A and B are shown apart, each in its own frame.
Chain A
Amino acid sequence: MRILKFVYVLFFAILLVSCEKESTELIENDDQVFEATTRENTELENYLGYNVKNFENGNFTFYINDKDVITGTKTGENHYLLSNPNGELLEMKADMRVEGGLNEQISARKVGDPQYSEIFNFSYFFAAAPNATAQAANPCNQHPAGESFDNCFKREWSDFCEDFISCIAQITNPIPVAVAVGIHCASC
Chain B
Amino acid sequence: MYYKLKYIILLFALGTFGIFNASLLKLNGNPNYHYALSTALILYWLSIIIFIIQNRKKIFDLFRK
Chain B residues 15 to 47 lying within 8 A of chain A, measured CB to CB, are: 16-17, 19-24, 26-31, 34-35, 37-38, 40-42, 44-46
Residues of chain A whose beta carbon lies under 8 Å from any beta carbon of chain B? 3, 6-7, 10-11, 14-15, 18-20, 46, 131-132, 134-136, 139, 142, 156, 160, 163, 165-166, 168-169, 172-173, 176-177, 179-181, 183-184
Interface residues of B (CB under 8 A from A): 16-17, 19-24, 26-31, 34-35, 37-38, 40-42, 44-46, 49-50, 53
Whether A3 touches B53, Cβ cut-off 8 Å, given contacts A176-B16, A177-B19, is yes
Interface residue from B21, B24, B28, B41 paired with A165 (Cβ < 8 Å)? B41
Cβ–Cβ < 8 Å partners of B42 in chain A: 7, 10-11, 14
- Pairwise interchain contact B31-A165, C-beta atoms closer than 8 A: no
Residue contact A15 to B38, C-beta cutoff 8 Å: yes
30 contacts between A and B (CB under 8 A): A10-B45, A11-B42, A14-B41, A14-B42, A18-B35, A20-B34, A46-B29, A132-B30, A132-B31, A135-B28, A136-B29, A136-B31, A139-B27, A156-B27, A160-B27, A165-B41, A166-B26, A169-B19, A169-B22, A169-B40, A169-B41, A172-B45, A173-B19, A173-B44, A176-B20, A177-B19, A179-B20, A180-B20, A181-B23, A183-B24
Contacts of B37 in A (CB 8 A): 18, 165-166, 169
Secondary structure at chain B's binding surface: helix, strand, loop or mixed?
A: helix
Report the 6 A-B pairs with minimum CB-CB distance, sorted nearest first: A135-B29, A180-B23, A176-B20, A18-B34, A132-B31, A184-B27
The complex places the Cα of A111 from the Cα of B64 at a distance, in Å, of 75
Could you tell me if A177 and B45 are in contact, using CB atoms closer than 8 angstroms? Answer: no
Q: How far is the CB of A166 from chain B (nearest CB, A)?
A: 7
Set of chain A residues within 8 Å of B35, measured between Cβ atoms: 18
A180 touches B16 (CB 8 A): no
Query: Are A20 and B31 in contact, with the CB atoms below 8 A?
Result: yes
Q: Please indicate the chain A residues that have their CB under 8 angstroms from the CB of B26 in the complex.
A: 160, 166
B25 and chain A: residue at smallest CB distance: A180
20 further interface pairs, Cβ-Cβ under 8 Å (given A142-B29, A180-B27, A181-B23): A3-B49, A3-B50, A3-B53, A7-B42, A11-B38, A18-B34, A18-B38, A132-B29, A135-B28, A136-B31, A139-B27, A165-B34, A166-B37, A172-B44, A173-B19, A176-B19, A177-B19, A177-B23, A179-B20, A180-B20
